[in-house]
Amino acid sequence: MPQSAVKVFLRTRPSDVYSPEQLQVNQDTKTFTIVQAARSSGLPSDKAGPSQQYQFKFDGILHNASQEDVFEVCATDVLSSALEGYNSTIMCYGQTGAGKTHTMAGSRASYAARGLIPRVISALLARLGAAPGLAAWSVSVSYLEIYNEALYDLLDLTAQPQELALYEDGRGRVQVSGLRQVAVASEAEALALFFEGESNRVIGEHQLNKQSSRSHSIFMLSITTTPEGGDGRSLASKLCLVDLAGSERVSKTRSEGLVLKEAGHINRSLALLEQVVRAASERGRDHVPYRSSKLTHVLKDSLGGNCATVLIANVWGEPAQLDETLSTCRFAARMARLVCEVASNVVQEGGARVRELQREVQELKEELAMMQLMAGWQQQQQQQQQEGSNSSRERPYDDTQRQKLQQAVLAWLQLPDDADSSGSTLSQLPLSSVRQLRELLLAVKVGAAVDGKNWNACPC
Ligand code: ADP
Ligand code: MG
């Protein structure tokens, strides 16, 4: 299975008090240096020590970057791999106010300020509409929110959180049961659903969380494409766009009451996210605690599983936010060590899959019959040895029986090759006993000697 390292980009939020001395973007636009002045107790006797320097290398730094740049750098490859059947995720991580929602959803202030989700929707549907050689495609949209460890459907506010549950299907893929998945045929339909989910998130802000930054949101696009003239197989992928809750520490926000409870959940789920990322990036580690929180469970594939993942670490480049910027960079550097095992998801068209399963069942039935036959034969042998006699079942065939069997074998050999590939024509030579199996082999051997022309085709 091909491996793909998680790609990590750092995005700085523009600020009038951005401090280029403390937050240095190196010329390679990949290396970020944080210079932290030494802390002093303020006492005249306490001399400040030397400042600390921390250096981080990312796949790219988006400093003063436009929304268009962010889409080009972070999403175009992801979109291509989603169309090739690879699961893909883009997620934004960082403290509240650092620009996660601005990056993911964007602002409605202007068309140019739209974020990754509307841009991905437009580009995806434009590419599908213009893609040559596609017999069919389908896209469906879901919008999930995780707030205080409960799941909410942003496309269906009537759904109660207890109605949404996480489970792993037969192939180990995490699914959300009860989550509305709406099929869309156009960019306008998909955008309408995105805006509906966004306004539901705002309603939720009043009812539940004071700021949407206190919840994690996951916008999901499920894509299926079927090539023209293929064998009925399709490519299926899931593209997740994740806006994580703010990663600031409770002590800093001096939270109380409900806000403190929320912060507790956020901190816990982000701490568990860090734990999962750390465990998944350790080589040879066989247990990764994905089920420890709803967030890590939902994102299981995106964190070292079958998924091409991009992390955008949003930082607020002001001196007062240096500690949070440092902790965001540390998390991002850990994410960069994650390697995902990616594989294109091929799904078979219903009819072809049913035929394949029927063939498998038939083969298993034949194998079972053969095992029973062998077991019976062994029993018979033991019995014969005890009785010292030959049973009638073990008596060789007479000439008429042999001739009949040879004719049946010859007729089967003359069937066209392609009819054999399914194994279905073998049912014309049913196996009924070990004696018959022996006679069948003899018939093939004798026939080969008698009629070279026809029997040369024998695949034995
Ligand atoms: P977060 O989701 O991380 O809490 P937001 O995305 O809501 O933060 O950003 C906080 C404020 O800063 C918003 O008003 C947003 O429009 C503004 N903002 C964030 N990043 C940028 C940016 N790159 N350019 C312009 N404005 C930004
Ligand atoms: Mg936000």
- The verdict on whether residue 96 carries a ligand-binding annotation is yes
Domain contains 420: yes
Q: Which residue has the higher pLDDT, 165 or 442?
A: 165
Domain contains 45: no
Those residues with Cβ within 8 angstroms of residue 301's Cβ, 6 or more apart along the chain or in another chain: 87, 89, 173, 174, 238, 307
Nearest CA to ligand 1 atom 22: 13
Q: Which residue has the higher pLDDT, 164 or 438?
A: 164
Ligand nearest to the CA of 108: 1
As a whole number, mean pLDDT of residues 198-220 equals 79
433 in the same domain as 365: no
Res. 203: pLDDT tops 80: no
CA of 158 to the centre of ligand 1 (A): 30
371 in the same domain as 297: no
Mean pLDDT of the chain: 82
Domain contains 413: yes
Domain region containing 445? 396-460
Ligand nearest to the CA of 248: 1
CA of 106 to the centre of ligand 1 (A): 8
Domain contains 150: yes
Backbone angles phi, psi at 118, to 5 degrees: -65, -30
- The verdict on whether residue 284 carries a ligand-binding annotation is no
Report strand pairing: 216-227 vs 31-36.
unpaired
387 in the same domain as 277: no
Q: What is the DSSP letter of 396?
A: P
Element (H, E) at 419: helix 417-420
Domain contains 333: yes
453 in the same domain as 378: no
Mutate to test the pocket of ligand 1, among 10, 12, 13, 103 (most ligand atoms within 8 A of CB): 13
Ligand nearest to the CA of 313: 1
At residue 350, the pLDDT reads 64
257 in the same domain as 244: yes
301 in the same domain as 243: yes
Q: What is the pLDDT of residues 314-352, one digit of tens each?
A: 999 888 889 899 999 999 998 888 777 777 777 766 666
Q: Which residues surround ligand 2, an ion (CB under 5 A)?
A: 100-101, 213
Domain contains 452: yes
- 316, 309 Cβ separation under 8 angstroms: no
CA distance 72 to 67: 9
At residue 2, the pLDDT reads 66
Listed residue (81, 82, 107, 103) closest to 93, CA to CA: 103
At residue 205, the pLDDT reads 67
- The verdict on whether residue 22 carries a ligand-binding annotation is no
- The verdict on whether residue 178 carries a ligand-binding annotation is no
210 in the same domain as 95: yes
Res. 457 pLDDT band, cuts 50 70 90: very low
- The verdict on whether residue 447 carries a ligand-binding annotation is no
Res. 460 pLDDT band, cuts 50 70 90: very low
Total domains in the fold of the chain:
3
DSSP labels for 180-242?
--EEESSHHHHHHHHHHHHHHHHHHHHHT-SSGGGSEEEEEEEEEEEETTSSSEEEEEEEEEE
- 293, 273 Cβ separation under 8 angstroms: yes
Domain contains 46: no
Nearest CA to ligand 1 atom 16: 102
Res. 102: pLDDT tops 90: yes
Q: What is the pLDDT of residues 274-300, one digit of tens each?
A: 888 878 877 766 788 899 999 999 998
At residue 312, the pLDDT reads 97
Element (H, E) at 167: strand 165-168
Residue 290 maps to which CATH number?
3.40.850.10
135 in the same domain as 243: yes
457 in the same domain as 383: no
Q: Show the tokens assigned to 49.
A: 């020590």
Ligand nearest to the CA of 63: 1
CA of 263 to the centre of ligand 2 (A): 14
Backbone angles phi, psi at 14, to 5 degrees: -60, 145
Q: Which residue has the higher pLDDT, 33 or 431?
A: 33
Torsion sign (Cα): 380, 385, 386, 388: positive
Res. 149: pLDDT tops 80: yes
CA of 98 to the centre of ligand 1 (A): 6
At residue 106, the pLDDT reads 96
Nearest CA to ligand 1 atom 17: 99
Nearest atom in ligand 1 to the alpha carbon of residue 213 is 4
247 in the same domain as 110: yes
- The verdict on whether residue 95 carries a ligand-binding annotation is yes
Res. 45 pLDDT band, cuts 50 70 90: low
As a whole number of Å, the end-to-end CA separation of the chain is 35
Residue length of the chain: 460
- 235, 81 Cβ separation under 8 angstroms: no
- The verdict on whether residue 98 carries a ligand-binding annotation is yes
CA of 318 to the centre of ligand 2 (A): 18
Res. 49 pLDDT band, cuts 50 70 90: low
Residues with CB under 6 A from ligand 1: 13-14, 94, 96-102, 107, 213, 246, 314
442 in the same domain as 336: no
At residue 115, the pLDDT reads 97
443 in the same domain as 367: no
Domain contains 142: yes
Q: Show the tokens assigned to 215.
A: 């919840």
CA of 214 to the centre of ligand 1 (A): 15
Q: Show the tokens assigned to 20.
A: 């280029």
